[in-house]
Every structure is written in C-alpha cells, then in structure tokens.
Structure 1
Amino acid sequence: MPEPVALSLTEAFAALGTRRGRQDPYPLYEAIRAHGDLARRGPGRLVVTGYDACARALRDPRLHVQDRTAYDAAYPAWRSHSSLRAFTSSMLYSNGPDHSRLRSLAGFAFTPPRVRDLAQVVEDMADRLLDRMTRLAAAGEPVDVIAEFASRLPVAVIGAVLGFPEEDQVWFRETASAIAVATDGFSDPSALHRADAAMDDLARYFGVLVDDRRRRPADDLLTTLTAAHDGEPRRLSHEELMGTLMVLLTAGFETTSFLIGHGVMIALDHAPYARRLREEPDFADAYVEEILRYEPPVHVTSRFAADDTELLGTAVPRGTRLTLIMAAANRDPLRFTAPDRFDPARGGSPGPLSFGAGPHYCLGAPLARLEARIALPRLLRRFPRLAASAPPVYRDRWVVRGLDTYPLVLGA
C-alpha cells in the first residue's frame, strides 16, 4: 500500500470536493485514515474509515440515517427542493417504524425466491442487449459498454419488477442520474436544481402510470404499491409512494450499472480473470464479491446520533454527525491482506460493507449480485476479443461512484 499523503482532514475533504479528487479518491481515503479509523472532523463531526467502526455504526440503532428532522437542522431550505423531499419520503432516508413500514411494502419483490425467479429475465435481457451491441459494432465504431449494456440491463430489470414500459428505459437512465446528484450534498446548486426538474418530470410520469394501474392492475410492484396507497393512505402516503418509486428506480439501476461497469473494466485489465469468467461457471460469484469490496458503487453514507452512544470506546454524544466511508472500510489493512490488490481468491470474512449493514442493508443487494453474476460472463463469452478503445471515464460524483463512459471494440 502506498504511503498516505500527509493532509489534514480539512484538506482531504476539500480535495474530495474537486473533480480530480473524485476521479481517484482512494489516496485521499488513506490520508483520512492516517488521522485514525474514527477521527474528529470538528465539533460534533466524526469521520469513520475503519472496518470495525463502520460496521458497528451501520448497525447501531441509536445512529440514524439523515431523515427530515436531521435535514431541518442541517439544511433548513431543503423543503424547497423536490428531489430532497422525494428522498426523505422514502425508506432510504427514514428511521424506526417509518423505515420498517416502507421497507415491508416493497420487500416481498426482493426475497431470495423472487430474485431467483428473475434469472431467466436477466439472461434474456442480457442476450438482447448483446445482440444490439453486435449490430452497433457492425458500423465499425467502438461501442460504449456503459450506455449500451451496463446501464440498459439493470434499468430493464428493475423496470420489469416495477412494471414500467420498456420503451422509456433510456429516458429513465438520464432522469434518474440527474436526480441522484441530490445524494452528493448541496455543493453544486445548479446540479440540485437540475435534480429537482428531473424529479418533477419523474413524478408526473409516475402519476400517469399509477392512474393506469388503477384501471388495469398487473402482476408488478407498481400495482401493489398503488393498491397500498389507495387502500390505506396512512400506510403509504402520496409523497411516500412517489419517493418509494423514485428510490427503487434510481437505486435499482445506477448502482448495479456501476457494479457491472467496474467488473468489465477490471476484467479487461486482468486477462486471467476475463478468461476464468468465460470458462468457469462458478468464478463469477467470487469475482463479483471482490468488485464490491475493491471498487464499490456506493462509497459513502452518513448517520447522526439520535442518542448518546459509543463506537469502539469513542464517545458519540447525541447530535453527532458521522461520515461513514465504506469504500475506505473495505480496504482497511487491519481486516484485509493487501487491501489495494484485487484478489477474488481472498474469500471468507469479513464481507464488504458495500450494501451497508443493519436495518438499512440494501433491499436490492441479491438482485444486483444476480445481474452482475449473469451479465459479466455472458458479455465476455459473446465477445472473447473485447478490448478498450479509450480509457474509462468516471462520473464526477463521490457518494455513488462509477463509470460514465467506456468505449470498447468488440472484436467479433
């Protein structure tokens, strides 16, 4: 592991706020770790990079996600932004009984049996997209694997689960990506205003679909959520219905898109892994788990102390705000041997914290794993001479981080 850059916490976080810092944040994570696995970033602020502390914080019931109450204290103007109102009306930014209630309404669609039943859907959609890539490559130009495969597949799958029309998938990607910048904080007001406009468009679109399901129920999650709202609005309000649909769509495709994109990038940088993905049916399981540890789609989450607690002997008074850098925890040298080396053979425990832990463990984690385990071997088998035509480019994001473009020559 390279020696961490000597930076203060203030300097390291300032660097993470730049495009250059977000393109490769890992040296900055090590600079932060040099101040301790659990470091004070000022009055009432902690930053967590250690695996054990991060895992404990994610499971501590006294450490809450940033809900409406927390937003009121930290950012009083947040209610003027429709994208933030939508997030705080969802399970993602809810605590206690509200979180359990909202999660239970959608959870049945992501049980292990339901996810296993989606395997054929994922395979069929992947094959259709690979056929499309073949047609696009016939013109002799490189094909962007992010736009044409890594993004299209998960949005098609979550669209099928929710019951959204297939013809709207490309629009979903652009709209949901614009909304997702709201999770990166409020450092770019123009981006937040674009997120609001995209959320307003999406809410109008959802309204049309909900009205359609009232007239024509179907076997999908949209019908179930609509019926729950109409039958007992106190169980699922209109704002919560819109927020739940938005989060399921955005979280259901963007993070999986980044997971698949990272898997392609790493395979093309490591020919033996690409060969094993093509030839060994069981290798994809370990490979995907190591992607999640080494290059996770979600880098950061936050918590605030709703009551006094402690983390590994460090007092965390009520009101303390914690920044949990899960991508740093996944490379904690106290828990992982040679943590900066990609090694699917490492196996065992501890597992990566890429999907969180505790009550807010990602609802769609089994589906994301399934999609990546199916998609990566299928892509590499279809195009065994796949090669990059230009370096991959990351999106200018931090909290949820992944590739924006990655043009490839299919070689077939």
Structure 2
Amino acid sequence: MAQNTIKQRMHWLAVHGSVRGISRVVARRGDPQGRMISDMAVRANPVPFIEEVRAMGPIVKCRLVHMTVDYKIVNDLLRSDDFHVFGMGTNLPKPLQWLADRTRPDLLHPIQPPSMLSVEPPQHTRYRKLVSSVFTTRAVAALRDRVQDSANALLDDLADTDDVDIVERYCSQLPVTVIGDILGVPDDARPRILEFGELAAPSLDIGLTWPQYQSVQRGIRLFDHWLSNHLHELRRNPGDDLMSQIIVASEDAEGGPLTHQELLATAGLVLAAGFETTVNLLGSGIRMLLDTPEHLDTLAARPELWPTAVEEVLRLESPVQLSARIATKDTEIEGLMVRRNQGVILYLAGANRDPKVFEDPHRFDIERHNAGKHLSFSGGRHFCLGAALARAEGEVGLRTFFERFPDARLAGGGSRRPTRVLRGWSSLPISLGKARAALSS
C-alpha cells in the first residue's frame, strides 16, 4: 500500500504538481497558461480572460504551450492532419514525461490511449466506426420520445415540490436515465454512475491538487471496475440496448475484434460523455433563461425557436471549454512558428465568442442566425458522436421544464463545478412555483 501511494505521489508530481508549481511562477509574469491554471478568478468567469488572450493576438506563445481563442485557427486545427490529439503528460518536458510514463496508474483514463479522445487513425477510425455503426442518426432520432417520456416522469416527481436543486433532481437525472436506457445500465446502478462521473470529472484538467488527484483516481478505478463487470454481463446476456450491439459489433470490428481494454475504453467514453456534457447544458440553459425572462416570453410565443436557443446556450456556455492538439511537424500559424511536438490549447469557449464570426458575441440571442456555428462539439474527425442526442436532450429537457414550471425562479446563487475543461453548475436552487399539467408530446 505504501509503495503504491509513493508511486501515485510521483505520478501526481510529474503530471500535476510540477505544472501547478510552474504555473504559479509564470502566472505572476502574466503567462496566459499559468493564469488559466492557477487563477481561480479565471475558472469562475473565463470571459474576461478570453478577451485578454484575444487582445494578445490570434495565437499566443505561453511558457509550455501555445494558446488560441481565434475561431478560424481553432476550426482549422481541429481538422488539420498536421495536428493530433495526445495523451495527458505526453508533451511534458522529457524528465517529467519519463517519470509520468513509469508511474502511470494501470487505469483507463479518458485522455490516455486507447480512449478515442487521445488516438488518431487508424485506431481512432476503428473505434469510431464501431460506435457509429450502432449510434446512428436514425437510432438517435428514435430516442426523442424516450427523452420526452423521461423528462415528463422526472418533472411529475417535482410537481408538489417548492424549492429544489434542479441539477440534482433534473439536469443530472435526465441524461443518465436516457443514456442508461441506451447502454443497458440497470436502474439501481445509475446513481453510482453519477457518483463515478462526479469523482472523475476533473480528470480532463491538468494541475490538480493531490486531494483532487486522489479523488479522480478513485472515481476512475470504481468506474472501470463497474463497467468491466457490466460488459461481461452483457456479453453473457445481451439485450436490445446499444451497448449490447456495440459488444456484438466489436467482434467483427475492422482490423479484428476489439480487446477487452479497447472495448472498455470505447464503452466508457460513450457512457460518460453521454451524460456529463448534457448535465452542464441543461443547468446552464435553465440558469441563462431564468436570468433573461424576456427570452422565456418569446419562446412561449414562438416555440420553434427552441433549437436555436439551445445552440446559443451551447455557444455561450460551452460544456467543454477547452481542447488541445500537438503539432506533428513545424507549422507556421499567423506568423508564429509552432514546432513539432509543441502543444496548442484550443479555447473552444473563446472561439465561440469571436466577434469576427458572431456579432455582439457576448449577447444571449435566441434568434441568432448562425448560433449553430459554434465549436462546442469540437470538429473534424473528433466531432462529438453524441451531438445529435445532446441537442435533442437540451431542446426537450429545457422546453418541457419551462412549460411545466413557467413561474420558476432562482432561489439562490448556486455553485459552479470545480473543473476547468468542463463548465457547468454543480447545484442550482430553484423555486418551482405551481406546476402545469404535462402537454402531449
């Protein structure tokens, strides 16, 4: 046990502790990456920071990486063959990378191979083709009625409630119910999935504290163990859910059957991504609309605007704020040379507020003609496979909530999630007011 703790400490030091220390030093010199990691004000409200970075130029050289909030550059790099995704810690200075490699826990991490988030073709093509063969547009479209039924049932349970934490009782429950049905997760396991997700959510961040790191490792370990058992059970007793179909399809995957580890990583990403980002979308949407009651009046009179309203929520409060790419060769971008193996932070949330693309970019406009041009679902070969489902859940979930509780109002300030890459509300107290009867779907 002591030896394992020492190994964990060394891995934390290589990947997170060293970055925290460097960030505090360079932040005092104005380094944007250092500030992004160490300045709590940036995490609380990234918009002023985004605009400071934008004023520095289209792409900014930081102490360890480059950073851009420019829409065109972000969009281009997401689609470029000259820039690839990479695993956490792979672009550290060589001594730290050496230490990270030798102390890395034997756990499946969302941004370590074989996760789709950290591999490129041909592996990425193989995994994505497998999921796409099952997670089709038609299959997702057929789930819309299920989303509506789930929303109605959850809101029925709130009908006689006054004050409620809407994130706990609705925003988290709707996506985990839907993705649980899709992936064959038993009802009694869904609270555990939410618990694992909450523990592991900071795993996408770099510069974690030691307690945060320990919590993340515990969440990933529990999730890996549960999911491995779940996959074995579905393999023995397959159902008509999409996870069972993924397992069957994995036996005939291009390039040969997926190993258990590959299947575990692929299934885990689909499951976690299927509810994590949608929780944030629903919470942000409810908060933004309660803050702008004039938009609720417009949506009540013109419900055809709901899809655009959801796109605008995604644009302004991107559930995933950041992505990153590493250069595969020396590449000049807007006069700045990015050397091979140097990383670039792609600030999706900043690109979504680029005034060259979005007029009056900080305004919440539910009639914005190009709201759907945001990059919140990434782009190129790593475009989010669950985007259509997230949009459906956002539209149905938000519309149904405000139809059932038109007098809802904030009952407190709420609290933000303590994460940097994922942005959303961890709690949001709402006074619901009188409930209306469910409308026919």
Candidates 140, 144, 158, aligned match of 1:115? 140
Candidates 297, 304, 311, aligned match of 2:326? 304
Tell me the CA shift for residue 186 of structure 1.
3.8
Counterpart Cα distance in 2 of 1:372 and 1:174: 22
- Superposed CA deviations along residues 93-140 of structure 1, whole A, max 9, x for unmatched, are 1111111111111113332211110000000000011012224x1xx5
Residues 233-252 of structure 1 correspond to what in structure 2 (within 5 A)? 234-252=256-274
Q: Is structure 2 residue 298 aligned with structure 1 residue 276?
A: yes
Candidates 341, 349, 356, aligned match of 2:378? 356
The residue number in structure 1 matching 2:166 is 145
Tell me the CA shift for residue 344 of structure 1.
1.9
Candidates 153, 163, 168, aligned match of 1:128? 153
Gapped regions of structure 1 (runs ≥ 5)? 1-5
Candidates 234, 251, 257, aligned match of 2:279? 257
Contact 1:83/1:182, CA 8 A, preserved across alignment: no
The residue number in structure 2 matching 1:62 is 82
Q: Is structure 2 residue 86 aligned with structure 1 residue 48?
A: no
Counterpart Cα distance in 2 of 1:229 and 1:163: 16
Q: TM (normalized to structure 1)?
A: 0.91
Q: Is structure 2 residue 62 aligned with structure 1 residue 37?
A: no
Tell me the CA shift for residue 320 of structure 1.
1.5
Tell me the CA shift for residue 397 of structure 1.
1.0
CA RMSD of aligned residues (A): 2.4
Amino acid at match of 1:325: Y
Counterpart Cα distance in 1 of 2:372 and 2:234: 43
Contact 1:51/1:330, CA 8 A, preserved across alignment: yes
The residue number in structure 2 matching 1:376 is 398
Tell me the CA shift for residue 87 of structure 1.
4.2
Contact 2:114/2:265, CA 8 A, preserved across alignment: yes
Counterpart Cα distance in 2 of 1:349 and 1:274: 18
Residues 310-325 of structure 1 correspond to what in structure 2 (within 5 A)? 310-325=332-347
Tell me the CA shift for residue 226 of structure 1.
2.6
The residue number in structure 2 matching 1:84 is 109
Higher mean Cα deviation, 180-189 or 66-75?
A: 66-75
Counterpart Cα distance in 1 of 2:71 and 2:149: 38
* CA separation of 1:161 and 1:75: change in aligned 2, threshold 3 A: farther
Contact 1:87/1:247, CA 8 A, preserved across alignment: no
Tell me the CA shift for residue 312 of structure 1.
4.2
Contact 1:47/1:323, CA 8 A, preserved across alignment: yes
Q: What is the identity percentage for the equivalent residue pairs of Structure 1 and Structure 2?
A: 32
SS at match of 2:66: strand
Amino acid at match of 1:344: I
Contact 1:176/1:249, CA 8 A, preserved across alignment: no
SS at match of 2:150: helix
Contact 1:278/1:378, CA 8 A, preserved across alignment: no
Tell me the CA shift for residue 209 of structure 1.
1.6
Amino acid at match of 1:108: S
The residue number in structure 2 matching 1:3 is none
Q: Is structure 2 residue 214 aligned with structure 1 residue 189?
A: no
Counterpart Cα distance in 2 of 1:62 and 1:91: 18
Q: Is structure 2 residue 123 aligned with structure 1 residue 98?
A: yes
Amino acid at match of 1:207: S
SS at match of 2:189: helix
Higher mean Cα deviation, 308-317 or 213-222?
A: 308-317
Amino acid at match of 2:225: R
Contact 1:81/1:193, CA 8 A, preserved across alignment: no
Amino acid at match of 1:193: Q
Counterpart Cα distance in 2 of 1:354 and 1:287: 14
Amino acid at match of 1:241: L
SS at match of 1:404: strand
Gapped regions of structure 2 (runs ≥ 5)? 1-26, 435-441
Candidates 286, 305, 310, aligned match of 2:308? 286
SS at match of 1:84: coil
- Superposed CA deviations along residues 229-270 of structure 1, whole A, max 9, x for unmatched, are 556795412211121122112211111110111110111011
Contact 1:355/1:361, CA 8 A, preserved across alignment: yes
Contact 1:86/1:242, CA 8 A, preserved across alignment: no
SS at match of 1:362: coil
Tell me the CA shift for residue 401 of structure 1.
0.8
Q: Is structure 2 residue 192 aligned with structure 1 residue 171?
A: yes
Amino acid at match of 1:80: P
The residue number in structure 1 matching 2:15 is none
Counterpart Cα distance in 2 of 1:296 and 1:192: 24
Tell me the CA shift for residue 215 of structure 1.
2.2
Tell me the CA shift for residue 307 of structure 1.
2.1
Counterpart Cα distance in 2 of 1:382 and 1:237: 46
Counterpart Cα distance in 1 of 2:106 and 2:50: 30
Amino acid at match of 1:62: D
Amino acid at match of 2:332: E
SS at match of 1:411: coil
SS at match of 1:202: helix
* CA separation of 1:201 and 1:350: change in aligned 2, threshold 3 A: closer
Counterpart Cα distance in 1 of 2:135 and 2:334: 33
The residue number in structure 1 matching 2:235 is 214
- Superposed CA deviations along residues 289-336 of structure 1, whole A, max 9, x for unmatched, are 111111111110110012233334543321121011110111112222
Counterpart Cα distance in 2 of 1:322 and 1:302: 6
Contact 2:86/2:111, CA 8 A, preserved across alignment: no
Counterpart Cα distance in 1 of 2:32 and 2:124: 35
The residue number in structure 1 matching 2:363 is 341
Q: TM (normalized to structure 2)?
A: 0.85
Tell me the CA shift for residue 403 of structure 1.
0.5
SS at match of 1:88: coil
Q: May I ask how many residue pairs the two structures share in their alignment?
A: 402
